[in-house]
């Protein structure tokens, strides 16, 4: 009888160890996915900074009739960019249960920022 209990105890320990290992591996993979997405989103934001800077430079040499519109575009893009930076900060702090929701909002926001850039760029030409 003692052998049965000992065998069951060893079996339980092996099962629990395997579960803990799988859980740790899953958590590590999710963390890597989170880090990779955050880096990608930060790169998109950095690229937008360069685009905004190029729009500012264009505005400095543009005709007087378009300078005001370009200035408004720059201000709107910068405001939207700052909101996205805040959203990225929130993404970095998001708990596991809020990660996907916060990521989806970040994707939508970055796509919206890209669309706003496209509209501003179209007005430049």
The C-alpha atoms of residue 50 and residue 53 are separated, in whole angstroms, by 5
Has residue 124 got a pLDDT over 90?
no
42 occurs within a structural domain? yes
38 occurs within a structural domain? yes
Is the distance from CB of 79 to CB of 53 less than 8 angstroms? no
Is the distance from CB of 41 to CB of 110 less than 8 angstroms? yes
97 occurs within a structural domain? yes
CA R_g for the chain? 25
Using alpha carbons, list the distances in angstroms from residue 7 to 10, 16, 20, 87, 117: 5, 14, 20, 52, 66
How many structural domains does the chain have? 1
68 occurs within a structural domain? yes
25 occurs within a structural domain? no
* Distant-in-sequence, close-in-space partners of 114: CB < 8 Å, separation ≥ 6: 44, 48
What would the pLDDT profile of 19-76 be if each residue is shown by its tens digit? 555 666 656 666 678 889 999 999 999 999 999 999 999 989 988 888 899 999 999 9
14 occurs within a structural domain? no
- For residue 86, give its domain range: 34-124
The C-alpha atoms of residue 6 and residue 56 are separated, in whole angstroms, by 74
Q: What is the pLDDT of residue 47?
A: 96
60 occurs within a structural domain? yes
The C-alpha atoms of residue 81 and residue 89 are separated, in whole angstroms, by 12
Q: What angle do CA 70, 72, 75 make, to 5 degrees?
A: 110
109 occurs within a structural domain? yes
What percentage of the chain carries pLDDT values higher than 70?
Answer: 75
């Amino acid at each position: 009888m003692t052998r049965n209990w000992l065998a069951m105890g060893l079996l339980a320990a092996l099962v629990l160890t395997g579960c803990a290992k799988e859980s740790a591996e899953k958590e590590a993979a999710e963390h890597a996915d989170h880090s990779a997405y955050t880096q990608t989103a930060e790169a998109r934001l950095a690229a937008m900074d360069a685009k905004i800077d190029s729009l500012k430079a264009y505005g400095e040499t543009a005709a007087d009739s378009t300078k005001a519109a370009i200035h408004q575009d720059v201000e709107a893009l910068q405001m939207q960019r700052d909101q996205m930076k805040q959203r990225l900060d929130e993404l970095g702090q998001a708990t596991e249960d809020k990660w996907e929701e916060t990521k989806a909002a970040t994707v939508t926001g970055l796509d919206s920022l890209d669309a706003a850039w496209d509209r501003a760029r179209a007005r430049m030409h």
